Structure 1
């Protein structure tokens, strides 16, 4: 054994990267918070959008009828307008030959403007009972409505039957609608019409307490005594006929300007107005009826002033906090109205891309497997010359012995170079104490993994170097199989097959699934496309000449393995995957360590892609990675995973607001496709299928964590932070499996 020890001088000053890392460390928590806040903001926007579409709360009547023994007879037998002036419930009837024209369920962007145009043409005022969620989505229509002199009332926020709702729910429905009106038109109103209400004789013991409570709060409840039933779409003639009062009586007449296809309503409305005017009727609002009744009771002449103002007497000007909160609601809804459809389209594109990727991986992985495993396939003459195996080690006392013992059983001639990167736990001493004749231990002051690998490459005796991690275990045939592709002079590097050794843990099982799919589908696909993005640090082989030509392992990024792989592509070398060369590595033992590892990988990959962004314009064979590999990696390793959490959020959104069964079936279908891909990857690698039982849980927990890691990495990249090479705690429990090789 040969030991090389550098002179022990003054400790080196921190590098530029390490100084930047120190500053970045203090910023990591705010970045995590920012990433979570962005996701929370999106969730809030989607919840608001779902709530506004009135798909929560049951847009249907929850009861079919009940007794009315507690309702006063004068209410049941009275007029269609119920007031509570002075705390006493009274009804008001519409005077003879007078129509209080009312519309429910709006505003609707298609039908309400057409209704307003007809009313403006005939100079007819009306009262619109508006759904708060629709007001917040179409505030401009409400503003036009009020400016034209029409009156508005509340029809709840989500068009829910209030009879069985809690007092808090009733109050919330009213307050939210008032807030929407304040933001849309700068007003509030005292008029109310309950969804699914009709005439006063339909009031029962469940609904009457609601009207009483609202009456105490100053609301006037408005019913109908003549219903056009236009929602049934019976034809224009029937609508006009059913909306006509009998024997010149006055009436509160109901039409609808939303809630369905209203072309018959639009066609019937001019005919109805012309018919009623021909019969001597006048049109007014609910406030106009109340104003006329008050004048008759007091026997005073009609009030002087703007007639339109008297017809809008139920309106109150919104001021102060209410006005600003209302405008904030309208602004938030405007964002939701744009964001949710845009994201929906984007996610459809992402979904198609993901499914396309699955299909491409299956096709290309099968082709790769058949091509590399046919009897006649050969890289060329067997590679039998010795190679150098470089083991960078930093505080690997738990693992270094297992690593070196596994290399000692190699069936291929090797020299082993252990580069101790300033370990403080006796790693170098353990390596030396094993007494292996083909092991050299090189000590260096702590400088990071790239520096350790470069030191090993410069010290290597042979033209092929194998790089592995200090916690990795090789099978006896691993090195021999790994170097055979170098029989092809175009090959500059070879990726091996990394396996998770401690797969008995939950985290290990999750990573096992991920590794098998990644190595047996992704890498096979990239190999055939000749754009392999990464030689894994756990097992990779390189031509020493190619590494030195590329400038060695760079310290510019945290993903030195991705960095050197892309550099080799750009230098014109071919990078391939050798599936049968297997290495066993240890998965992180805790979620915290897993987060640290994946955070470094994700961020390092982004750094490497950005560093080699000019590969997009490389010409000739060396530009293949830029033309094919770079777009694929960016799309499927950054963009698609970034959108993946949104797919999950949209799935939950659809379950809550749209269709639970259909959403569950869609989620199960996607899971089924992933299971199919995973099962095929397991088949290629001859792995046991029982681990796939963990896949549904992996999709619900592990995958979400990986998404957050990627978001965190993107935020760090966008804010210009940097990280340092992080050492994970190892247990040394991974050894070469019995019978492996």
Structure 2
């Protein structure tokens, strides 16, 4: 083995190893978005929550001094002590917060009446609203743990209890820089409500250093039985001290706030003091400042939760936007494509005088040895007079020689060094003998009537270019079937819509026709972008030419057969479309035909071809989110509704193109898998554009499976309506 061959092998190996890096950034961003959604569900108690309440159990294992004791249970030192609140002192406790609506109102009321309280917060709410926890601490209130997800701990393992406590403390550390020694079990009640299920939890929590606080006065404000009833239930008798249970979260707490505003001054006039727990017991504060790694872990947690909240809000806006775009686009497509079909299919419709003059067909080819013979022979079968010019763009596989060996009349080969497709087309234009020029790809075959149908719109002198009906010839694979749906629905139905709106964005490279004079006025094909077909189409619009769609001008093209090839093709298309939009952006502020296209065409193309595909996967992302976190029924219903709209549009598009409906069976799977691939491709295109990267032309490997019309496998029907059997 020579040194040169060894070096080449190493280069190829390195190139293969680097290839996956092209997917790394978009996939990483997608994973980050999913992680944000997972975190959002996590802190919204939509995962891991267990809201079961244990049924009553025996109490024989609960100490009598607990069942008959005070609401403060201290079993931290191995000994069990219960404490009652001194006379004329009330410890107001609020569970389940903080709530962004009601907690501030409760805090305002307490501050106005110079009262303190204890807030038992859940980790989920504290993580979402850390500022309210900080305010509680700053205003002299005490904060206790109420678990992270609010489950009934009687059902949980010790590891789950530890997790609930540690996550709750993590949220407090990030929100207010403290730890707390106060704990209240979810669904707790009076001391005499302890049983053989709940008491072991209290003992275990005490071993972790926590003081458990239940209550001996319940306002039952959750019943919303009225302000006076809440006050009556919250008022202790005979001047006794009490721990009063209220709620600052979990629903409408307007009655709680109104009751507080009367309850506080009323009992203060009777000599009561409203204090936090340690003030009432004359004990050290339950709060301990946290520092070092524990503090930074808490802050990092809060930062991530807030980022997830903001990200989800942005994604929610994006979902609303894509919903509007999808409905708008489908509505426009259905209405305008119907109008287009009625216009061009009405009896006696003609663009003008019949076009019978000969046409020059340009076939740019680079290493198309497997396809070029089928392509050229399909043109020779045309019922319209043509000259065929194959521009060999530096092929290394004998493409030009294959064409020359055919020795077909009116077929010429023009050779050039590899310079790219735009240069090859311009070379073909320079060598063309006729004023009407058809352009096609080297992997495409035409039906007998395609050229004739394609040039008939030139009977209207205002028409400068015509887009044909490109179809997928290799639709027998799943990827091919998905692209078939996309071509029929996403491309051709779109072209009908854009034809009516007079802002056709792209003449497909596989089948398009131009006036030579129109091409010359805009300077021919440009290599400024990777989407020369979109670039030239926009240039023609700006020059005042009409661009129309000829539905009967069918061409069969070979679509990519692997994910890698599909990725390469769509990456180039997406990036090239963005380049073309940016190149022609000045049309937005110009006058005349250019301004009309700039203010109508460019926004529609940007919305429907760039923004909508980028946001479309949010529908599926929120489907997954809803399936995992709920509400599952509504989520699935909404997704199925969108799918039904898409299916209706696809069925209508298939009917217009006289295609079999059987291919639509794969539509749901296409929406789940194919759309995600297109999303990542478009995201990568955005990244390339925003970072100023350059993308080179990428040659797809061809198989030559799409044959000339006379040789299409399973062909049936008349010559002017030939297509592969699905």
TM-score, normalized by the shorter chain, greater than 0.5:
yes
Counterpart in the other structure of 1:197? 188
Report if the CA contact (8 A) 1:573-1:622 is conserved: no
Cα pair distance change 1:725/1:85, threshold 3 Å: closer
User: Could you tell me which residue of structure 1 aligns to residue 171 of structure 2?
Assistant: 180
C-alpha contact 2:382 2:447 (8 A) present in aligned 1: yes
Matches within 5 A, 1:410-429: 410-429=382-401
Contact 1:520 1:684 (C-alpha < 8 Å) held by counterparts: no
Deviation at 1:269, TM superposition (A): 2.1
2:661 corresponds, among 685, 689, 700, to 689
Residue in 2 that maps onto 1:145: 136
Which one of the candidate residues 258, 261, 265 is aligned to 1:267? 258
Are 1:554 and 2:545 an aligned pair?
Answer: no
2:33 counterpart of 1:42: yes
Q: Among 303, 312, 319, which residue is 1:347 paired with?
A: 319
Answering whether residue 413 of structure 2 is matched by residue 441 of structure 1, we say yes
User: CA 1:622/1:94 → structure 2, altered by over 3 Å: closer, same or farther?
Assistant: closer
Deviates more, 1:572-581 or 1:36-45: 36-45
- 2:75 equivalent to 1:84: yes
> Using a 3 Å threshold, how does the CA distance of structure 1 residues 518 and 261 change in structure 2: closer, same or farther?
closer
Correspondence 1:708 to 2:680: yes
Aligned-residue offset at 1:171: 2.2
Q: In the TM superposition, what are the counterparts of 1:66-215 in structure 2 within 5 Å?
A: 66-215=57-206
Q: How far does residue 534 in structure 1 lie from its aligned partner after superposition?
A: 0.5
What SS does structure 2 have at the residue aligned with 1:85? coil
CA RMSD of aligned residues (A): 2.1
Measured after TM superposition, the shift of residue 57 of structure 1 is: 3.6
Q: Distance in 2 between matches of 1:565 and 1:353?
A: 24
**Mapped contact 1:530–1:624 kept (Cα < 8 A):** no
Distance 1:650 1:505 in 2: 29
**In 2, distance between residues paired with 1:282 and 1:686?**
83
- Counterpart for residue 500 of structure 2: 528
2:6 equivalent in structure 1? none
> How far apart, CA to CA, are the structure 2 residues paired with 1:208 and 1:454?
86
Q: CA deviation at 1:214?
A: 1.6
Q: Which has the higher contact order (CA 8 A, sep 6+)?
A: 1
Q: How does 1:589-600 map to 2 (within 5 A)?
A: 589-600=561-572
Match of 2:355 in 1: 383
Aligned to 1:314: 286
TM superposition shift of 1:283: 3.6
User: In 1, distance between residues paired with 2:691 and 2:19?
Assistant: 11
Structure 1 residue 247: Cα displacement = 4.1
Shift of 1:29: 5.7
**Are 2:339 and 1:367 aligned?**
yes
SS at match of 1:456: helix
Q: Distance in 2 between matches of 1:530 and 1:116?
A: 61
- Which residue of the partner structure matches residue 515 of structure 2? 543
Cα distance in structure 1, aligned partners of 2:157 and 2:181: 21
Q: Report if the CA contact (8 A) 1:479-1:581 is conserved.
A: yes
Looking at structure 2, the residues matched to 177 and 356 of structure 1 have their Cα atoms a distance apart, in angstroms, of: 45
SS of residue paired to 1:545: helix
Matches within 5 A, 1:484-503: 484-503=456-475
CA distance in 2 between partners of 1:540 and 1:566 (Å): 14
TM-score (norm 1): 0.90
1:61 equivalent among 46, 52, 60 = 52
Deviation at 1:68, TM superposition (A): 3.6
Question: d(CA) in 1 for partners of 2:625 and 2:588?
Answer: 38
Unaligned runs of 5+ in 1: 1-23, 293-309
Quote the offset at 1:342 in angstroms.
3.9
From 602, 615, 625, the counterpart of 2:587:
615
Partners of 1:636 and 1:169 in 2: CA distance? 48
In structure 2, how many angstroms separate the alpha carbons of the residues matched to 1:479 and 1:34? Answer: 44
**Which residue matches 2:623?**
651
Match of 2:7 in 1: none
What residue number does 1:475 align with?
A: 447
Deviates more, 1:206-215 or 1:362-371: 206-215
Q: Classify the secondary structure of the residue corresponding to 2:246.
A: strand
SS in 1 for 2:413: strand
Q: Give the distance between the partners of 2:112 and 2:268, measured in 1 at CA.
A: 14
- Gaps spanning 5+ residues in structure 2: where? 1-14, 721-726
Q: CA deviation at 1:581?
A: 0.6
Partner residue of 1:507 out of 479, 485, 504: 479
Alpha-carbon contact 1:421-1:452 (below 8 Å) kept: yes
What is the aligned partner in structure 2 of residue 573 from structure 1?
545
Q: Secondary structure at the match of 1:214?
A: helix
1:228 is aligned to 2:219 = yes
The alpha carbon displacement at 1:277 in A equals: 4.1
Cα distance in 2 for partners of 1:57, 1:43 equals: 18
Change (3 A) 1:617 1:72: same
Q: Indicate if the aligned counterparts of 1:502 and 1:587 stay in contact, CA closer than 8 A.
A: yes
Partner SS for 2:679: helix
In 2, Cα distance between equivalents of 1:141 and 1:56: 24
Distance 2:560 2:385 in 1: 32
Q: Which moved more, 1:396-405 or 1:121-130?
A: 121-130
Q: Distance in 1 between matches of 2:261 and 2:451?
A: 88
- 1:470 CA drift (Å): 0.7
What TM-score do you get using the length of structure 2 for normalisation? 0.92
Matched, 1:666 2:638: yes
Pick the aligned partner of 2:249 from 233, 242, 258.
258
8 Å contact 2:319–2:619 — kept in the other structure? yes
Secondary structure at the counterpart of residue 163 of structure 1 = helix
Deviation at 1:133, TM superposition (A): 2.0
> Once structures 1 and 2 are overlaid, which stretch shifts more, 655-664 or 387-396?
655-664
The one of 224, 240, 261 aligned to 2:231: 240
Partners of 1:239 and 1:119 in 2: how far apart?
17
Contact 2:465 2:514 in 1 (8 A): yes
Q: Which residue of 2 aligns with 1:295?
A: none
Once residues 85 and 179 of structure 1 are traced to their aligned partners in structure 2, the CA distance between those partners, rounded to angstroms, is 21
Q: Report the equivalent of 2:613.
A: 641
